[in-house]
Structure 1
């Protein structure tokens, strides 16, 4: 029987039982320690780390009274529209004349003072009782600027933000809010600053949202798939900026703000550990 040379050579060598056995090279131990330290740091971060939590929601700059729809109590044909968008109207001022079937001319008047933001009817149009004649942003609730501009003296200018009910838990008055204004790009002018003034106790129906923003078409941008809660944001005044309001930048945009401008609000909800987030707390 033939054996390989290496096998025969191995049989002639004595067993080296007293020689130390090398289980791992130093390079392997270093790699093991690095992995253990990394895993320990990751485990520590899971329990003591902090992840900022915020909620984003759409809204608009308006006044405390919001935008209300003025409806015709009469049926007939619109003989003349007496108000146009951007007009300032007083309580009792005529908005339109409607001629009924008997030939009598009926006057539809503004039930409150405000600024006209929309007129969905025109001369010669037939209306029914309940048809919208004008959408008016109310200026009779709180102190307001009659020209429709937003002034930084506190005034009546606020941001109405519509937060999904499921994400509004924990919101409370006094919490800071940053507003990205559609007419003032955040990359150039920063964010408008404010604080939560109030949070509606119950979610709003689509009809309630429609009554605040001036119609069902506008409500579609804020109601979403689930009823939202209304968060009223009070804007922080700053007399040193052109707008009169505080911004995250030094001065904000160069001109004054106007109402009926869409915004996106970012509300800081605090921090949460990754472990709590994993558990859904």
Structure 2
């Protein structure tokens, strides 16, 4: 009987026009609007925004003419070593003295203006013709600045252009303290590098396997941005270190090879 009475009351006022019908809550409406704004914003961003596509490449700091290993021309005993690593020497500047088999002391000089990368001899050492004496980087002019030589996989070579910006981190200068160096691409190699070509530039004793670990690579020359106020003579993104960077120091370069729209990622799929 209870259900019958309820049915009769329903029939007496079937429309209930005086009651407010609540379709949804205000919280639901706000959530829906917020989601709609997010979706529209993502759509606009994916269609019009661009994201840089970067490539990391290992390299070294060097001078334009590269490193050359200087060999002994005569047999004898080293009497004195007159240069040290990371020193600049002028053409005909004494490098070391040698006492020959006839007892005559000879002074051996630098064949050209150069930066001394390393010295392989010590006083009292016996040298034979062809013995390794030093590794020198030839300087075209005494003030030749350092530049970076980085090795980029050949697949990315067609995307590289002269003038592209480059960021470089140096192994001897932590990024979280000093930041990165800046530079621009000044030349892009036209043929893949080999172990022989790498040794020709970096020196016969340099381990070049890290530069070839990703397969075939091309050499990319990066002109570093100078900063006369910096102790290193180079521009840093944070604070400049109190020391100069040496030739043959390892660096990692980040090159922006393209700018892509996120929408293109979906289209490519």
TM-score, normalized by length of structure 1?
A: 0.68
Cα offsets for 1:160-192 (capped at 9, x unmatched): 111222234422112222222222223323322
Q: Which residue does 1:244 correspond to in 2? A: 233
The aligned length equals 251
The answer as to whether partners of 1:69 and 1:132 remain within 8 angstroms in 2 is no
Moved more, 182-191 or 231-240: 182-191
Measured on the aligned residues, the alpha-carbon RMSD in Å equals 4.1
Match of residue 152 from structure 1: none
Preserved contact between residue 194 and residue 234 of structure 1 (Cα < 8 Å)? yes
Q: What is the TM-score when the length of structure 2 is the normalising length?
A: 0.71
Tell me what 1:208 maps to. 197
In the TM superposition, what is the alpha-carbon distance from 1:235 to its structure 2 partner?
Answer: 1.9
2:159 aligned counterpart, secondary structure: coil
Q: How many angstroms does 1:94 deviate by?
A: 10
What are the equivalent positions in structure 2 for 1:58-69 lying under 5 Å apart?
58-69=58-69
- Give the Cα separation in 2 of the matches to 1:280 and 1:69: 50
Q: Which runs of 5+ in 2 are unaligned?
A: 99-108
The 5 Å alignment of 1:153-192 reads 155-192=144-181
Equivalence for 1:105: none
Q: 1:69-120: CA deviations, max 9, x gaps? A: 56899xxxx87689897386969x999x9xxxxxxxxxxx998764554578
Q: Go from structure 1 to structure 2 and tell me whether the alpha carbon gap of 1:236 and 1:225 turns closer, same or farther (over 3 Å shift).
A: closer
Q: Is the 8 A contact 1:47 1:273 kept in 2?
A: yes
Q: Does the CA-based 8 Å contact 2:121-2:134 persist in structure 1?
A: no
Aligned to 2:4: 8
Q: Distance in 1 between matches of 2:134 and 2:152?
A: 24
Distance in 1 between residues matched to 2:5 and 2:194, nearest whole Å: 92
Contact 1:89 1:116 in 2 (8 A): no
Q: 1:241 Cα shift?
A: 1.9
Give the drift of 1:64.
0.9
